[in-house]
Amino acid sequence: MTSFREAIDARDMDAVEAMLADDVVFRSPVAFKPYEGKAITAAILRAVVEVFEDFHYVREIGAAGDVDHALVFEAKVDGLAVTGCDFLRFDENGLIVDFMVMVRPLRAAEALAREMGARFEEIAKVAAQNS
């Protein structure tokens, strides 16, 4: 089985989507309200891989089989360097039930918010089609 990190490194978004629980909760670094459900989370993640440039994980925290993992990443958004962390919680079936992202610095987070905001109408449309 492919790990989440391996799927992201390969840009295999179908594999990433298969790892999401139907009731996954996505906590965005730039939105106040969490997004609930597999369809919207998958649509957001598909858009994020287009927004981030030179995305790569630099560290993984958590042992195989642990329910909680943290994946530290580096990327660029609109030419600005960003460092962030994906916090993943897995259920007893190995599916992601909670996905929280944090990014820094503020200017890069603001650029991410602009880029994702510009795509959000399409993200919502894709999610609605896949619900």
Inform me whether the pLDDT recorded for 2 exceeds 80.
no
Inform me whether the pLDDT recorded for 1 exceeds 60.
no
pLDDT (average), residues 109-128: 93
Q: Percent of the chain beyond pLDDT 70?
A: 98
Min mean pLDDT across 1-5, 9-13, 15-19, 95-99 is at 1-5
Q: Per-residue b/e over 20-39, b at no fewer than 16 CB within 10 Å?
A: bbeebbbebbeeeeebebbb
Distance of CA 20 to the CA centre of its chain: 11
Q: Tens digits of per-residue pLDDT, 22-62?
A: 999 999 998 889 999 999 999 999 999 999 999 999 999 98
